[in-house]
Amino acid sequence: MKKITKDIIEILNYEYELFENSIQEIIEKRYTELYKDGSKNGYYPLILVPSDVLYDALTINLDETKAEDYIGFSKEIDIRKFFNTKRSQYEFDEKYLAEVGEFSDEDSNDYLAGYLDVDTSFPYEEVLILKIPTRNPWEILGHIPMGGYNDCPTPEYQIAAAKYWYEQYKAVPAVISSNTIEFIIENPPQDLKSAEKLAYEHYLFCNDIIDQGIETIRKLASILKNSMIWCFWWE
């Protein structure tokens, strides 16, 4: 085990399983097994990618604030108001608002990729699956507080958004790295109107998803319709 992986395990202090030089099928099979077990035993599994940047973020964010604090802070946030206010600010200065574009035929996103090395398409050399002790999946983001930099929302806003999306779409955080959060989705939007509304929320939560990737709101909406995986990443 690498030192950085050991250090992250020590900071978080959750039950874990380590996968070294593994393959995608093995990791996701085990994740699925633990997901089913966790529903009976009061935890959610989370795939975690150890790194120096993630270690630094966890060290800072957990220095004087604990998971319970972030969860408590999130309860004071009206995430709908947050989305509406941010969109109004963007619309006031149109250069900050993404192009709407047109709906198109796009493949849905149905596989987790946040723990795969972009250079090899294989899992990183070391990957963890943690057992996060909560029955509320949105609280995972308080237990693994990686935000607050590079325009990534702070943990309490991540939790508030995740709770809202869980209530709407049964969205569950499944993968976290230093700059990525992936959700698995049980009830994706079934029509383009609701998918477009969701696409605006995704953009307001994570500008890079469009500004440095998908390019337009309606292209993102076309992908989100029926997608079982959501991916957020911040440069």
Q: What whole-number distance in Å separates Cα of residue 231 and Cα of residue 114?
A: 8
pLDDT tens, position by position, 12-28: 999 999 999 999 999 99
> Do 79 and 164 form a contact (C-beta atoms < 8 A)?
yes
Listed by start position, the domains of the chain span 3-230
Task: Output the pLDDT for position 98.
Answer: 67
Between the alpha carbon of residue 119 and those of residues 122, 123, 124, 183, 205, the distances in Å are 8, 10, 10, 22, 26
What backbone torsions phi and psi does residue 17 show, to the nearest 5 degrees? -130, 135
Angle between helices 79-92 and 192-205 (to 10 degrees): 80
> Do 126 and 48 form a contact (C-beta atoms < 8 A)?
no
Task: Output the pLDDT for position 100.
Answer: 82
> Do 58 and 137 form a contact (C-beta atoms < 8 A)?
no
Task: Output the pLDDT for position 123.
Answer: 97
Dihedral Cα 43, 48, 52, 54, nearest 10 deg: -60
230 backbone φψ class: left, alpha, beta (φ>0; ψ -120 to 50): beta
Q: Which residues in the chain come in under a pLDDT of 50?
A: none
